[in-house]
Amino acid sequence: MTGTETGMPGTGRTLTSEWVAEEARRLSNWGRWGPDDQIGSWNLVTQEKVLAASRCVRRGRVFSLALPFGAGGPNESGRPGRANASLFVTMSGTDIVAGAQDKIFPGSGKFTDDFVTMSLSTSTQWDGFPHVFHNGRGYNGVDASSVTAMGARRNSITHLKDRIVTRAVLLDMPRFARCDWLEPGTAIQPEDLEAAATAQGVEVLPGDAVLVRTGQLAQVRALGSWGDYAGTGPAPGLGARCGSWLAEHDVAAVATDTWGLEVLPYEVDDTVAPLHQIILVHCGISIGEMFDLEDLAADSAEDGVYESMLVAPPLPIKGAINTPVNPQAVK
């Protein structure tokens, strides 16, 4: 793990948008599953893969990997447009006590009801393929104009509504590095991921979801405040070169416990979210953000088992770009 350095070790070459474009072309899955494909690397998750994932369940222990979505959630001081979800109760228990429902619902039966308003990216989420475009093109070459005010006409996250069930591999980077958490600005590189997997005795297989713990949530909880967690300050995360490691392992998804997956500040000065451009747009690898991996990591450290069955389907909202999710890791 190499901090905030911006060079490719051993090459003397600085990462630029040109490098991002070259890496994206080299690793691209466009056309791999046909010109009309909209599910990307989830094509690798076959019925056989799901059955294999189910064999990771040995104890029946279930871990929710979700953060809060309402008051107290991670976006209390985050970027505009990503405020925490707002819950509105339209029929309350106090209405019942006051007799306000008696004319609507005569007799003994009474009800409470609610609704919520939120950005689909406000807390634990999957980034859908239309979330990011590279030079105006999205996954499988789809034009940016495919996302209209009515939603995504192509590549909507909804296409994965029956797909996100697979084997998950946890890579616990702080425990591997023998620290409580990675410091903000620490870049995780491919060699770090490989070394952690080797140390944990786990193999990353095609169609897996890789869960990368940085420990940033442990730091947030130790500080007692979200601080600049929600994309407003430095953060540990994956370096842009991790795209090659993820693509070469043919993973279906990668998720971290950070706001935006990638190390902040970015390693590239002349573009944003370089790893998103490479793996989400060109590889069709789903990106999960703000996954709470603390309890799962503690359990894995105790029993030495770093694989689980992940069940984390999106909400089937027509045309949705991203989706909130309550991921379940089952061991």
Please give the distance of CA 95 from its chain centroid, rounded to a whole number.
Answer: 39
pLDDT at 78 (0 to 100): 63
* Cα–Cα nearest to 220, from 209, 212, 229, 231: 229
* Assigned token pair, 279: 């793996």
pLDDT at 75 (0 to 100): 87
pLDDT at position 9 over 50:
no
pTM (whole model) above 0.75? yes
Q: What is the pLDDT of residues 50-104, one digit of tens each?
A: 999 999 999 999 999 999 998 889 987 666 778 899 999 999 999 999 999 999 9
DSSP 268: -
pLDDT at 96 (0 to 100): 94
pLDDT at 2 (0 to 100): 54
pLDDT at position 11 over 90:
no
Cα distance between residue 118 and residue 323, in whole Å: 11
- Any residues with CB less than 8 A from the CB of 94 and at least 6 apart, and which? none
Domains of the chain are: 13-68+120-330 (3.50.30.50), 86-117 (no CATH)
- Any residues with CB less than 8 A from the CB of 38 and at least 6 apart, and which? 129, 139, 140, 154, 155, 156, 159
Backbone dihedral angles phi then psi of residue 159, each to the nearest 5 degrees: -65, -15
The DSSP secondary structure of 77-125, one letter per residue, reads T--TT-PPPEEEEEE-HHHHHHTTTTTTS-SS----EEEEE--TTSSSE
Q: What is the pLDDT of residues 236-273, one digit of tens each?
A: 999 999 999 999 999 999 999 999 999 999 999 899 99
